[in-house]
Amino acid sequence: MALVASLRLVLAPPHPAGRPFLLGGVVAIVVGLILTQWLTWIGVCFTLFCLYFFRDPERVTPARPGLVVAPADGHVVSVASVAPPPELDLGTAPRWRVAIFLSVLDVHVNRMPVSGIVTRIAYRHGKFVNASLDKASVDNERNALAIRMADGRDIAVVQIAGLIARRILCHVREGDAAQIGARFGIIRFGSRTDLYLPEGVTPLVEVGQTMIGGETAIADLLA
Catalytic residue numbers?
191
Residue 114 class from Cβ within 10 Å (0-12 exposed, 13-18 middle, 19+ buried)?
buried
Strand ranges (E), 48-176? 67-69, 74-82, 95-102, 109-111, 116-124, 142-148, 154-161, 167-170
- On whether the CB atoms of residues 118 and 145 are closer than 8 A, the answer is yes
- DSSP, collapsed to helix, strand or coil, labels residue 48 as helix
**Can you tell me whether residue 73 is helix, strand or coil?**
coil
